[in-house]
């Protein structure tokens, strides 16, 4: 539906004795047909589409409370904001959600990989590569809240080199956050000519060492503060102390493109004591000036980290805490 809407088409109201979806009369039949609320344990209530207060009022009526007495994940018309508590509850994915995350991860990595493999240096534009990625995702029922494709010097100069219609001559970075059935994965891939790849090798070695450190720290029982402090220490060991300030560093992922992000030096807010647990998904995002960046999505399992953003046939090399890591695709 409206991907830019500030709130969803259907709101879930959960009380001690019931679970109900509140939507508009416009969406009622679609929700009934496509989702079948009763099969998932929900009732369904429809309200007027043309009254801005109808959705929160409908939620209050279902709960039998005044709107201000309803806790929510931050809607201003309702009561206490329990968004951080909701995030904490949904960090541990269930078996079905883990299976979906694996499928979505393979789809996202495959979309980037196929688009980059089709790139012909000096011929394809960044927008053509981006369109290839978006089309593959959309055909499989996913979309991309974040889709960044940049080329050549824009990759070297900018952390977010969005597509501008320029021909890619020697280097392409493609970044996607893919979303399907409410879940998200994040992944970044690079393709380059041999000369461009050789020019970035040293920078990538630094970023990969940082990624190794943050992945090694992402273990059940550690707090996310412990993990991001390990990230900050790794930047210093890589000869770039404090360089984490230059770009978003990622964090737990799942029902949001990042459930929360905290920095090595804080502030940590409500997530200062949040612990890494089995079934969490994470997508860290270390980068260094000059164009090097790592980003994949992992599940925290009983046997360690499992990278879900995998594409069969994409080049890999040894050296990661999970055994291998995606490498740069060298073309031309």
Q: What is the pLDDT of residue 2?
A: 77
Tell me which long-range contacts 271-274 makes (C-beta under 8 A, separation of at least 24): 271/84, 271/87, 271/224, 271/225, 272/223, 272/225, 273/223, 273/225, 274/88, 274/91, 274/223, 274/224
**283 pLDDT higher than 90:** yes
Structure token digits, residue 87: 């995030």
CATH code assigned at 132? 3.90.230.10
- Give the mean pLDDT of 67-86: 95
Q: Which domain holds residue 172?
A: 95-330
**174 pLDDT higher than 90:** yes
Model confidence at 310, pLDDT cuts 50, 70, 90, reads: very high
- Per-residue pLDDT of 187-236, as tens digits, reads 999 999 999 999 999 999 999 999 999 999 999 999 999 999 999 999 99
**Chosen domain end from 81, 112, 127:** 81
**264 pLDDT higher than 90:** yes
- Per-residue pLDDT of 285-299, as tens digits, reads 999 999 999 999 999
Q: What is the pLDDT of residue 1?
A: 67
- Per-residue pLDDT of 94-111, as tens digits, reads 999 999 999 999 999 999
- Give the mean pLDDT of 19-29: 98
Is there a single domain that holds both residue 60 and residue 170?
A: no
Is 5 a member of any domain? no
Is 270 a member of any domain? yes
Q: What is the pLDDT of residue 258?
A: 98
**Chosen domain end from 48, 81, 114:** 81
Contacts of 261 (CB under 8 A, 6+ apart): 248, 249, 250, 251
Distances (CA, A) of 99 to 23, 41, 87, 181, 298: 28, 21, 20, 12, 12
Number of domains comprising the chain: 2
Is there a single domain that holds both residue 255 and residue 158?
A: yes
Q: Please state, in angstroms and rounded to a whole number, the distance separating the CA atoms of residues 332 and 74.
A: 50
Is there a single domain that holds both residue 245 and residue 122?
A: yes
**15 pLDDT higher than 80:** yes
Model confidence at 9, pLDDT cuts 50, 70, 90, reads: confident
List, in sequence order, every beta strand (DSSP E) within 196-256: 250-253
Q: What is the pLDDT of residue 279?
A: 98
Is there a single domain that holds both residue 168 and residue 208?
A: yes
Is 90 a member of any domain? no
pTM, two decimals, is: 0.95
Is there a single domain that holds both residue 55 and residue 111?
A: no
- What does DSSP say about strands 281-284 and 250-253: parallel, antiparallel, or unpaired? antiparallel
Identify whether the C-beta of residue 327 lies closer than 8 Å to the C-beta of residue 317: yes
**26 pLDDT higher than 90:** yes
Is there a single domain that holds both residue 100 and residue 215?
A: yes
Q: What is the pLDDT of residue 8?
A: 85
214: closest CA among 277, 294, 278? 294
Identify whether the C-beta of residue 263 lies closer than 8 Å to the C-beta of residue 156: no
Is there a single domain that holds both residue 48 and residue 150?
A: no
Is there a single domain that holds both residue 75 and residue 107?
A: no
Is 89 a member of any domain? no
Is there a single domain that holds both residue 101 and residue 175?
A: yes
Distances (CA, A) of 6 to 46, 153, 159: 19, 35, 27
DSSP track, 86-100: HHHHHSS--HHHHHH
DSSP track, 283-310: EE--EETTTEE----EEEETTEEEE---
**Chosen domain end from 81, 110, 134:** 81
Is 88 a member of any domain? no
Name the DSSP letter for residue 85.
H
Q: What is the pLDDT of residue 295?
A: 98
Model confidence at 320, pLDDT cuts 50, 70, 90, reads: confident
Is 3 a member of any domain? no
């Amino acid at each position: 539906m409206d991907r830019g809407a500030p709130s969803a088409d259907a709101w879930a109201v959960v009380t001690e004795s019931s679970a109900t979806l509140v939507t508009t009369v416009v969406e009622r039949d679609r929700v009934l047909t496509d989702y079948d609320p009763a099969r998932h344990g929900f009732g369904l209530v429809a309200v007027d589409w043309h009254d801005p207060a109808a959705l929160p009022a409908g939620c209050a009526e279902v709960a039998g409370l005044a709107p201000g007495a309803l806790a929510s994940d931050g809607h201003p018309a309702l009561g206490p904001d329990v968004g951080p508590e909701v995030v904490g509850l949904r960090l541990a994915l269930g078996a079905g959600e883990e299976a979906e995350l694996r499928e979505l991860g393979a789809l996202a990595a495959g979309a980037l990989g196929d688009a980059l493999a089709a790139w012909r240096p000096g011929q394809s534009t960044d927008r053509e590569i981006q369109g290839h990625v978006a089309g593959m995702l959309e055909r499989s029922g996913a979309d991309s809240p974040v889709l960044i494709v940049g080329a050549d010097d824009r990759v070297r100069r900018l952390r977010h080199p969005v597509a501008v219609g320029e021909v890619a001559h020697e280097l392409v970075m493609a970044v996607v956050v893919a979303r399907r059935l409410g879940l998200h994965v994040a992944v970044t891939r690079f393709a380059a000519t041999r000369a461009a790849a050789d020019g970035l090798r040293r920078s990538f070695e630094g970023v990969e060492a940082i990624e190794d450190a943050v992945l090694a720290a992402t273990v059940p029982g550690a707090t996310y503060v412990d993990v991001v402090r390990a990230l900050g220490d790794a930047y210093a060991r890589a000869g770039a102390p404090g360089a984490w300030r230059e770009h978003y560093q990622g964090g737990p992922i799942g029902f949001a493109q990042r459930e929360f992000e905290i920095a090595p030096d804080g502030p940590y807010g409500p997530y200062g004591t949040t612990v890494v647990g089995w079934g969490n998904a994470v997508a860290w995002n270390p980068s260094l000036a000059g164009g090097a960046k790592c980003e994949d999505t992992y599940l925290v399992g009983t046997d360690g980290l499992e990278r879900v953003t995998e594409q069969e046939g994409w080049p890999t090399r040894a050296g990661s805490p999970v055994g291998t890591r995606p490498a740069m695709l060298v073309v031309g």
